[in-house]
Structure 1
Amino acid sequence: MRFASLLGAAGAALLAFGAAAQAPAPTPAPAAVSRGATPVFDGVKSRDYIRCGVSQGTPGFSAPNSQGGWAGFDVDFCRALAAAVLGDANKVRYQAYSAQQRFTALQSGEIDVLSRNTTWTFQRDIQLGLEFVGIAFYDGAGFLARKSPGLERAVQLDGASVCVQTGSTNELIVADFARTNNIRLNPLVFQNLEQIFDALFNGRCDAFNWDRAALAGTRLRAPNPDDFVLLPEVLSKEPYSPVVAQGDQRWLEIVRWTLFSLVEAEEQGVTSANLAEKLRSNDPNTQRLLGVTGNFGTMLGLSDRWAYEAVRQVGNYGEIFARNLTPIGIDRGVNRLWSQGGLIYAPAMR
């Protein structure tokens, strides 16, 4: 009996040892994955502000405001990025560039991110040594024309002078449209947007070809907006994306996932006004977004409250859109969330 008891005790000990050996070890908090050299990210942290390239004055997207600062959809993205990375949405310095200057500024390291109604195209993606982060806004080119009797369609612009900006996709769009429809359009090319606005409003141009959302804002800048009509044709696909230089994978990931976090926040109903309530949510997706669980900020080399700060200080994607684009008459349209029939979509944060 004593021998049997000893055997039973030994067996139980072996079973316990085996179970202990097979038990999973506690999962350590994830660390930031090495991405090699991070010159842009290191520079941002060292100088404690982000250098953001913007337009020279695109209504609704990036334009000087009455307080002497900058405002707009693209400006607010840089503010959200600063909040995520540095904890303060005001730690941004803006530099305005023409369409022709913008890519050189990024390639040369003058700026950390280009947030300037910039279309993602094949040649730009392949040839410039730059990284397009993700689509922030879907648009298409169109014509803003001076009203004239019977003018309803763009094909009726045969013989018209058309303002376009140097270095933009619109030069090719105008040429393609004229050739496809067997009409003659006379492009007047300017480098500076202010020159274009002056030429359009003073009658040197019969029409202006640009992206339709920006044209809606341009019309409102006219001394008499009723003198101009936004023609109905959508001539191209113009997906806007923030852009960064190649050579810093970590910075690319930070900028990309800041954009996605703003979209994800809108989808989850997280706003700048209800963050305190949402921090107590039991939804695992909301917990990961706001840094309650998951350590996603740590993986990026940031605070786990990175997305929380972006939304708290600037707002989610829908709030940014409503603040900057809705007031100038731009409807959400295809820029609604995918769950509302639009194209705006963020990968899963898990």
Structure 2
Amino acid sequence: MKRFLLAAAGALFMTGAVHAGTLDDVKARGTLNCGVTQGLPGFSYTDDKGEWAGMDVDFCRAIAAAIFDDPTKVKFSPLSAKDRFTALSSGAVDVLSRNTTWTMSRDTTLGFNFAGVTYYDGQGFLVREALGLKSVRELEGASICVQTGTSNEVNVADYFRGQGMKYREIVAFGTFDEAIKAYQSGRCDVFSADRSQLAAMRLKLTNPSSHVLLPETISKEPLGPLVRHGDDQWFDLVRWTYFALVNAEELGVTRQNVEEMLKSTDPRLKRLLGTEGNYGEDVGVTADWVVRIVRAVGNYGEIYDRNVGPGTPLDIERGINNVWRKGGLHYGMPVR
């Protein structure tokens, strides 16, 4: 019996030695594997130069900057809504940063942890302006396009049932682009998705100005990055990368002034930027990890403004995606 227990203990030790944590794997590989969408303007898409861009892309670059001091050390894997969870659970990607809604079932039954909410969204409806519709309440008998592998179909059914309304049919498509083509061809009257997705989708239509978003938001869609259960160090690093971006905005640390901010005597800044304490080392990176992040991608507000804010093609006001001091929902947990 004693020999068996010793052998089992040795086997467990060897197993632990072989299977390092995700952070160790990423460091050894020299690249972060990041799962993103197959193309959603403002969030994750390839630009005119063939480079990945968007809020979700910048989040992965922030993680890479924290680890390697190099935001380019990321391999982006475009994933459909249907395939995204398999890619994460199989280890094909280290983090899923792909406009995914934080729900109870996804958080508790799929073997994942949500590391935070990087964008607060809600489901809406896009219609042709020529229909003259002003409200979702006017969609009685409509055919509605959605994408498979999302919660959009359930949300539509719940809303219509709750309002005592009936739709003609819900038509689901495997990819976002297939759904766009179907809507544009007239296969359905309405397209329903997260409002940020609809704003991005409208840009892909032949005549964007001839399509309008109805005013109602029918659901809560808190979007954020996911990691696998069971690796607390990796979970902590991904979660605190989000908090670092928000805290940097709250404390006024930007790409332009981060070097000057290193001279600050404000204890909050000293802890955040690593001139006091060992907070970076506690999550497996260097003391200046937040400096690395801000140098690479800026703070949360800079990422938002650059990718989806006013002045971009999506032109989305900050609203609830502002920091808490300005009436929004983003709140960085304190570094102390």
Q: TM-score, normalised by structure 2?
A: 0.92
Counterpart in the other structure of 1:329: 315
Distance across 2 between alignment mates of 1:236 and 1:346: 24
1:331 maps to a residue whose letter is E
Counterpart in the other structure of 1:187: 170
The CA deviation string for residues 89-140 of structure 1, in whole angstroms up to 9 with x for no partner, is 0000000111111111101110000000010001111100101101111110
Distance across 2 between alignment mates of 1:149 and 1:55: 31
Within-5 A mapping of 1:255-270: 255-270=238-253
Report deviation, 1:192.
Answer: 0.7
Counterpart in the other structure of 1:110: 92
Distance across 2 between alignment mates of 1:165 and 1:313: 33
The answer to which of 312-321 and 150-159 deviates more is 150-159
> Could you tell me which of 288, 296, 303 is aligned with 1:313?
296
Within-5 A mapping of 1:182-331: 182-185=164-167, 186-326=169-309, 327=312, 328-331=314-317
The CA deviation string for residues 197-222 of structure 1, in whole angstroms up to 9 with x for no partner, is 11122221211111111211211221
1:51 maps to a residue whose letter is N
Greater C-alpha radius of gyration? 1
The answer to which of 339-348 and 211-220 deviates more is 211-220
Check whether the contact 1:140–1:236 (CA below 8 A) recurs between aligned residues. yes
2:89 maps to a residue whose letter is Q
Check whether the contact 1:38–1:249 (CA below 8 A) recurs between aligned residues. no
Distance across 2 between alignment mates of 1:227 and 1:153: 16
Report deviation, 1:149.
Answer: 4.1
The CA deviation string for residues 212-238 of structure 1, in whole angstroms up to 9 with x for no partner, is 112112112211112211000010000
The CA deviation string for residues 234-263 of structure 1, in whole angstroms up to 9 with x for no partner, is 100000110001121100001010110000
Within-5 A mapping of 1:15-164: 38-164=20-146
SS of the equivalent of 2:67 reads helix
Distance across 2 between alignment mates of 1:90 and 1:325: 21
SS of the equivalent of 1:67 reads coil
The CA deviation string for residues 74-95 of structure 1, in whole angstroms up to 9 with x for no partner, is 0000001100011100000000
Distance across 1 between alignment mates of 2:124 and 2:315: 16
4+ runs of 1 displaced by more than 3 Å?
35-38
Aligned residues with identical type, % of pairs: 50
Distance across 2 between alignment mates of 1:149 and 1:256: 44
Check whether the contact 1:38–1:251 (CA below 8 A) recurs between aligned residues. no
Check whether the contact 1:41–1:248 (CA below 8 A) recurs between aligned residues. no
Counterpart in the other structure of 2:3: none
SS of the equivalent of 2:154 reads helix
Check whether the contact 1:38–1:247 (CA below 8 A) recurs between aligned residues. no
Distance across 2 between alignment mates of 1:212 and 1:38: 39
Q: Aligned Cα RMSD in Å?
A: 1.4
Distance across 2 between alignment mates of 1:93 and 1:164: 29
Check whether the contact 1:38–1:250 (CA below 8 A) recurs between aligned residues. no
Q: TM-score, normalised by structure 1?
A: 0.88
The answer to which of 249-258 and 58-67 deviates more is 58-67
Gap runs ≥5 in structure 2: 1-15
